């Protein structure tokens, strides 16, 4: 039985003058997933999200919400934060959320207190938006997105500009929402944060979709192993010749960082080193990082 998709994008193209911002982008976002759209500034993330939320028009291509099309009626099931939070600076949080609810057709005035409480803004509800800190502005934008209990949340760089405490708070909110069954579409350049919360990822670069799939599929069995010894550099070439799984070696002082594309047993590495008169002071297997895979994929293109 095939997995239900909340959003399907097919062959999107978008130009801004001579800039080809999206180049034949197609992707599928499964129901209940936390789907990360990764890429640096200028990769096309915000442009694509703007198209599927009717803020922009594509030059060609299609998209479909919930398998039913792109009719604006489906947008009521989608809450979004695209680019910077857009509120009236002279109004307080309560009044801004009232206006947001009227415009979006989602939620009501009775719901405002609960969403402000959830985003830790209940004590700031009567403060004018213009006096909010950046973190408070980001949290109010997420509060607006979850008004009306939408099925899908689109969040464009929700941790942008936040300090570590703010990032941790936002991460917890995203995890809680995902556990409630929301589908979350998260555009970000913070790869470590994406790996902590996302189930699926796609990678955009200069408008090209380079990869998409589950986090596990994208990372595969790749991992890193650190070797340290006084004379470790003497066997760097021998290691690469012996173990075909080693795809790259970074060398520094008394350390080798091995990047492997398939599993190699640590004890086999240790034995090989010992046989070559290298006694390791450290052998550590490091988990695969999305950042490493991202750099590997983007450097190929």
What pLDDT, in 10s, does the model give residues 190-218?
A: 888 888 899 999 999 999 999 999 988 88
Give yes or no for a contact between 45 and 186, defined as CB atoms under 8 angstroms apart.
no
Tokens 């991992």 belong to residue = 223
Is domain 223-299 given the CATH code 3.30.70.2070 in the classification? Answer: yes
What percent of the chain stands above pLDDT 90? 65
Give yes or no for a contact between 104 and 178, defined as CB atoms under 8 angstroms apart.
no
Half-sphere exposure of residue 204: CA atoms within 13 angstroms, side-chain side: 29
Angle (CA) 45-74-78 rounded to 5° is 50
Q: What digits encode the pLDDT tens for the residues 3-57?
A: 899 999 999 999 999 999 999 999 999 999 999 999 888 899 999 999 999 889 9
CA dist list (Å): 192 to 33, 126, 209, 299: 18, 35, 20, 18
Closest C-alpha to 29, from 190, 180, 201 = 201
Question: What was the pLDDT predicted at 21?
Answer: 95
86/230: higher pLDDT: 230
Label residues 211-220 b or e (16+ Cβ within 10 Å = b): bbeebeebbe
Domain boundaries, the chain: 5-219, 223-299
Cα gap 2→32, rounded to integer Å: 14
Question: What was the pLDDT predicted at 61?
Answer: 96
5-219 — its CATH code? 3.40.50.300
* Angle (deg, nearest 10), helices 134-146 and 93-104: 40
pTM: 0.80
């Amino acid at each position: 039985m095939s997995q239900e998709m909340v959003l399907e994008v097919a062959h999107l193209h978008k130009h801004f003058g001579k800039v080809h911002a999206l180049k034949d982008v197609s992707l599928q976002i499964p129901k209940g997933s936390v789907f990360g759209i990764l890429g640096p500034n200028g990769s096309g993330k915000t442009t694509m999200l703007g198209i599927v939320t009717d803020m922009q028009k594509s030059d060609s291509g299609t998209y479909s919400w919930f398998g039913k099309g792109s009719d604006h009626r489906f947008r009521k099931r989608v809450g979004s934060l695209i680019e910077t939070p857009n509120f009236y600076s002279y109004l307080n949080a309560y009044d801004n959320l009232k206006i947001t609810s009227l415009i979006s057709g989602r939620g009501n005035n009775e719901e405002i207190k609960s969403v402000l409480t959830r985003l830790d803004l209940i004590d700031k509800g009567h403060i004018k938006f213009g006096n909010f800190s950046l973190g408070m502005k980001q949290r109010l934008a997420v509060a607006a997105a979850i008004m009306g209990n939408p099925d899908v949340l689109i969040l464009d760089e929700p941790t942008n500009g936040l300090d570590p405490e703010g990032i941790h708070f936002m991460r917890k909110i995203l995890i809680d929402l995902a556990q409630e069954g929301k589908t979350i579409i998260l555009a970000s350049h913070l790869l470590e944060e994406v790996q902590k919360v996302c189930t699926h990822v796609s990678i955009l670069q200069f408008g090209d979709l380079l990869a998409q799939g589950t986090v596990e599929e994208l990372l595969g069995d790749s991992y890193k192993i650190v070797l340290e010894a006084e004379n470790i550099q003497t066997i760097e070439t021998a290691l690469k010749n012996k173990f075909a799984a080693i795809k790259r070696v970074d060398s520094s002082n008394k350390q080798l960082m091995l990047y492997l594309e398939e599993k190699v047993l640590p004890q086999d590495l240790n034995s090989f080193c010992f046989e070559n008169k290298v006694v390791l002071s450290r052998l550590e297997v490091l988990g695969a990082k999305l950042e490493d895979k991202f750099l590997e994929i983007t450097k190929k293109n």
